[in-house]
Structure 1
Amino acid sequence: MKLVRPAAVAGMFYPGEAAVLRTEVERLLARAEQDGEAASAPWPKAIIVPHAGYIYSGAVAASGYALLAKGRGHIRRVVLLGPAHRLPFRGLALPGVQAMQTPLGTVAVDQAGVEALAGLPEVREMPAAHAQEHALEVQLPFIQEVLGDVSVVPLVVGDARPDEVARVLEKLWGGEETVIVISSDLSHYHPYAEARAIDHHTVEEILRFDPTPIDHEQACGATPINGLLPVARKHHLHPRLVGLCNSGDTAGSRDAVVGYAAVAFYGESHDHTGR
């Protein structure tokens, strides 16, 4: 029997009806392509995108995913990492299933990728870590809409060291058939102006591969980001800021906001300037 992780936050973080969800994702992507340079740019090897409700962060997430559109048909696997919000645990957790479900259908879990991680002690199967976790789930409809029939290696990142995350990414790095998606919001619940200052500083640290790790006050996905950065630098990727805002810019009060950014990492052969 095929084991499937059912959608847990459909109807809360994003629309629960397939037709409504598809229309919303298409709208967000169309706006991102119109506002940016997605149509002319090569696709990045890795992106950092936010994971709040679509009403808050969907536009920024779409600005990252729109850049992957040219890879449709070439990209076959998405390595998807995001932080644990629901269950504390040590290491990185696989869901122990064969597919992940959204209202748009199921996304296959890449079994070859799972097997490639079998020798790493920091990686284990833990369905409970995935059961109610939204950080990965909210990415799946974008992946389905932009990339079509691809598989994912979904990893919830708990209490782990950046070098452990880096080791996982190296194992799964692959070629143009593989892209890396890091799911992370930025600062949480600061007043609007203060949050903007914090988030601009965090983005600058990411863009210059600052050797000082960012902390969880700066980004809830600090651990997967800190794991990605040295690997991206080793592989000569070049980061570019694609989108930056906070919930006060979209659908929330400015008294206490959550920050969102989309950052794309391009290979040496790609024009990462956006020109």
Structure 2
Amino acid sequence: MTIRTPAVAGTLYEADTQRLLVQMENWLESAPVKTTQSTPKVLIAPHSGFHYSGESAARAYQTLNAVYDRIRRVILLGPAHRTTVDHLVLPEDDVFATPLGQVPLDKTAVNWLRRQPGVITDNTLHAPEHSLEMQLPFLQTALEDFFLVPIIVGQVDPDLVADILDALWLGDDSLIVVSTGLSRKLTQADAEAQDRRTADRILELDPSLSYTEACGYSALNGALTWARRQGLHGQELQLTTSADRGGNQDSVRGFGSFVLG
């Protein structure tokens, strides 16, 4: 058994198990309750350092309260930040670890994915990538036992992603999580305006977002394409920026949390 060890614990989020657990529980318990009209099927959450985006991400995971013991398969989609890739990328590992423990991969799903066109296996991409890892502490705290399908989504056709999601979706015991930030390196005012437009397009399930609007645009467009096929509806939970948490007002990062069901 091979284990992916945490790449950014101690830098982007807390490495101490007890402090991280307390932080997760506090955020999930304090997140304002927003009633969802149907069972959450897709969560969209940011992946910056927890100081800046943790509370925003918690808004998405708080919607799982009613299904915390039902979810068994989590399909986690996110971008590669360090290189350009034009495939869906799986890890070689069997388990993903965080300071909160280990999450086993869904071997049935992963083995099926390895045989699909457009899918590669590359640990050199997965090992340092933070976009997927940043969602794991929330999943470990919000859910009971589950199996993970971690996919780095490169520059691929949204329909390819949607087809994969169609095949992997098992019904109400499945959950799709898209890890993405929104605007980057804009002023606070410009970021708020751009993110408002992006949020409106997400709520319209518009699968034509670009890299300048969301770093995880390819994963997001694929999930939105799938959501359209399923007839889902979107709900905005929070829009915020790094400046709202004390960051530079002249160069901010935008964060958004959404649920589709």
What TM-score, normalized by structure 2, do the two folds share? 0.96
Post-superposition CA distance 1:4-37 (Å, at most 9, x none): 11000001111001001101111111111xx223
Structure 1 residue 42, shift from structure 2 partner: 5.2
Q: Deviations over 1:219-253 (max 9, x none)?
A: 00110111111210111111000111111112312
Residue 194 of structure 2 is aligned with which of 171, 195, 198?
198
Give runs of aligned pairs for residues 229-268 of structure 1, distance below 5 A.
Answer: 229-266=224-261
Identity of aligned pairs, percent?
39
- Distance in 2 (CA, whole Å) between partners of 1:217 and 1:196 is 14
SS in structure 2 of the partner of residue 242 of structure 1: strand
**Equivalent in the alignment of 2:111:** 115
Alpha-carbon separation, structure 1, partners of 2:253 and 2:240: 9
- Structure 1 position 221 matched with structure 2 position 220: no
Deviating beyond 2 angstroms after TM superposition, the runs of 4 or more aligned structure 1 residues are 40-43, 87-90
1:135 has 2:131 as partner: yes
Give the distance between the partners of 1:111 and 1:160, measured in 2 at CA: 23
From 179, 183, 188, give the equivalent of 1:187.
183
SS at 1:37 equivalent? coil
Q: What are the ranges of 5 or more consecutive residues in structure 1 without an aligned counterpart?
A: 267-275
Equivalent residue number for residue 11 of structure 2:
12
Q: Pick the aligned partner of 2:91 from 91, 95, 98.
A: 95
In structure 1, give the amino acid aligned to 2:199.
V
Query: Is the contact between residue 114 and residue 121 of structure 2 (CA under 8 Å) also seen in structure 1?
Result: no
For the pair 1:207 / 2:203, whether they are aligned, the reply is yes
CA contact (8 A) 2:43 2:177 kept: yes
Name the aligned partner's letter for residue 16 of structure 2. E
Distance in 1 (alpha carbons) for counterparts of 2:246 and 2:65: 27
Q: Contact 1:116 / 1:172 at 8 angstroms: preserved in 2?
A: no
Q: Which amino acid letter does the alignment assign opposite residue 108 of structure 1? A: P
1:146 maps to 2:142: yes
How far apart in 2 are the matches of 1:216 and 1:107? 30
- 1:50 CA displacement: 0.3
The one-letter code matched in structure 1 to 2:2 is L
Give SS of 1:7's match.
coil
Structure 2: distance between partners of 1:97 and 1:54: 25
Instruction: Give me the whole-angstrom Cα distance separating, in 2, the residues matched to 1:136 and 1:21.
Output: 17
Partner SS, residue 81 of structure 2: coil
Give, in angstroms, the shift of residue 205 of structure 1: 0.8
Unaligned ranges ≥5, structure 2: none
Say which SS state the counterpart of residue 114 (structure 2) adopts: coil
Q: Structure 1-normalised TM-score?
A: 0.92
